[in-house]
Amino acid sequence: MRNEKFDPGSIPKEMFEFVSPGERSSERKNYDRPVGYFRDAWFRFRKNKGSIAAAIIILLIVLYSVVCPLVTTRFDGTFMDVFYAKKPPRNLLLRRIGIADGGVNRDLSEKGLIKALAVGMAAEDRDGTGNVTLEEGLASDYQPMLKIGEGVQMSEIRGAKPRTVYAGRIDSYLEVGFLYRSVEQNEYEKILRWQEETGLQVIYPLIENNRYTIDAADANYWYKTSPKGDPIHIDENGEEQVIRYGEGMTLEDNYRRDADGNPVYYEYTGGGSRETAQYRIRVLYYNYYLYRNGFEPEYLFGTDGQGYDLSLRMAGGIRLSMIVAVCVAVVNLTLGAVYGAVEGYYGGTADIIMERIADILSGVPFIVVATLFQIHLAGKVGVVPGLLFAYVLTGWIGTANRTRTQFYRFRNQEYVIAARTLGAKDRRIIWKHIFPNCIGTIITASALVIPGVINSESMLSYLGIVKLGSAGTTSLGTLLSDASALWINYPHLMIYPAAVLSLLLICFNLFGNGLRDAFNPSLRGVEE
């Protein structure tokens, strides 16, 4: 054959593939330089859009659990108010556009509607004159009725008289209205000074306990009522006239008055000195809350059944679940990797004995282990450490089995035999030659352990096996358990914790699946 000089110009242009300057070599069909294992895994992982989205959602949830307590500086997770328990979300900024206004939709009878409207009317009656009209009450900042629909006449049911029902929306925070409180004399004077400084009224006239008072313990019945609860007016002849809801409506007050006809604002109930004298007062609770805490009530996700801020409780539950899950994953990764490496490398009698031990431990139901640890160990070391011990007792077995399988796969490979022939010690062969080839599978298994731990921890808390409902510590499962008997009337108690828990489980599984594909050696260099 005759030697001919090669002419590059003879190659057609169609044979060339143009590559942009910023394109990485590992993203091309033919690699022009070696790419590391982890770098190649990262290139494959970022092509999985579902796993990337799941990782972003997990990051956002974790950031929420960390940032929420830092942003909510007004109170910590131990702050609670029993009068604002089970309340929906309320935010002073968002309520201007009708979002998170603390309102609930409710059908009200005429008597119920008048009682709600009376809160705003009484709040404007600072001097106890009782001459506030319905229109003035509706314009009040303390009026709980956000919306009032047209009255609908309900048909007669089982012999009952027809009644009018009004579909409305009410601010459940302002609905609390007025409450009776017992304070010391110096506290009473502090409230008076605060009223003068801020211009906000806290203390209102006391209500007389007579035949016109349907419920002496309810501070919102400041107007005269009949025994049936209908608001009434006493005419010049002493006749009782029922007051109906409508334009220009006024209510006749039933305030306690002194000999001169002035309303009474406090009642002495005991104590002999200035510091110990006890006064019974009637307060507008919204302003009393502001006086006591220095801020108005607003809760991003509402309050739970005890009156804690649900957003802070959820943040604490997320942190607890993540800490427990990550700690369990790390410990199980360490124990399982060591145990499985010894099994798979040495095999034989050592493998048989160690496998039987693992079989015995795996045969013990986890729920039994967790229950026994909570009964006998939690009281000594704490609830969370006791739960960690329960997970660690058997949780490493799955990682050990995967590691053992990988070691059986690689221990007789040529490079291992070569290292052993050259005099490498067992420890070096295990950790320098075989274990790096197993790390992808082990990391993936550990990532998939996290959603399993979160799910089981929430289940144990939900069932009450693990008690995590204290003021400082809670769990998503505990929040769901507390909401199980209330969620029909207060759906936000169930919706928010359930949504976060579902997102965590789904996203961690998608994230783990992405890691599994990324670390799969058989897919190395494969283009999708």
Annotate 250-294 with three-state secondary structure: ECCECECECCCCCECCEEEEECCCCCCCEEEEEEEHHHHHHHHHC
pLDDT band at 31 (very low <50, low <70, confident <90, very high): very low
Nearest to 395 by CA among 329, 350, 492, 305: 329
Judging by DSSP bridges, how do beta strands 178-184 and 203-204 pair with one another?
Answer: unpaired
Place of tokens 């459940």: 172
Q: Alpha-carbon distance 429 to 415, whole Å?
A: 10
Nearest to 474 by CA among 318, 262, 259, 286: 318
Average pLDDT over residues 200-205: 95
* Counts for the chain of helices (H) and strands (E), in that order: 17, 9
Q: Could you tell me if 297 and 176 are in contact, meaning their C-beta atoms sit under 8 angstroms apart?
A: no
What angle do the packed helices 435-463 and 492-518 form, to 10 degrees? Answer: 170
pLDDT band at 33 (very low <50, low <70, confident <90, very high): low
In degrees rounded to 5, what are phi and psi of residue 291?
-65, -45
Q: What is the pTM of this model?
A: 0.80
| Cβ contacts of 498 within 8 Å, gap of 6 or more | 480
163: alpha, beta or left, given left = phi > 0 and alpha = psi -120 to 50? Answer: beta
The residue count of the chain comes to 528
Domain boundaries, the chain: 51-68+308-523, 90-293
Which of 59-73, 311-325, 398-412, 510-524 has the least mean pLDDT?
510-524
pLDDT at 523: 59
Handedness of CA 263, 265, 269, 274 (dihedral sign): negative
Average pLDDT over residues 193-199: 94
Q: Does position 5 have pLDDT exceeding 80, yes or no? A: no
Q: Does position 180 have pLDDT exceeding 60, yes or no? A: yes
pLDDT at 18: 60
Q: Could you tell me if 68 and 316 are in contact, meaning their C-beta atoms sit under 8 angstroms apart?
A: no
Q: Alpha-carbon distance 482 to 498, whole Å?
A: 12
Place of tokens 């956002």: 60
Q: Which residue has the higher pLDDT, 217 or 471?
A: 217
pLDDT at 161: 67
Q: Kindly report, residue by residue over 96-111, the tens digit of the pLDDT.
A: 888 888 999 999 999 9
Q: Does position 411 have pLDDT exceeding 50, yes or no? A: yes
Tell me the helix, strand and coil percentages in the chain, rounded to 5.
50, 15, 35
Handedness of CA 52, 57, 62, 64 (dihedral sign): positive
pLDDT band at 314 (very low <50, low <70, confident <90, very high): very high
pLDDT at 372: 87
Q: Could you tell me if 218 and 295 are in contact, meaning their C-beta atoms sit under 8 angstroms apart?
A: no
Q: Kindly report, residue by residue over 123-146, the tens digit of the pLDDT.
A: 999 888 888 899 999 999 999 999
Q: Alpha-carbon distance 487 to 174, whole Å?
A: 22
Judging by DSSP bridges, how do beta strands 103-109 and 163-171 pair with one another?
Answer: antiparallel
Burial (CB count within 10 angstroms: exposed 0-12, middle 13-18, buried 19+), residue 239: exposed
CATH class name, domain 51-68+308-523: mainly alpha
- Indicate the residue type of 38: F
Rg over alpha carbons for the chain, rounded to the nearest Å, is 35
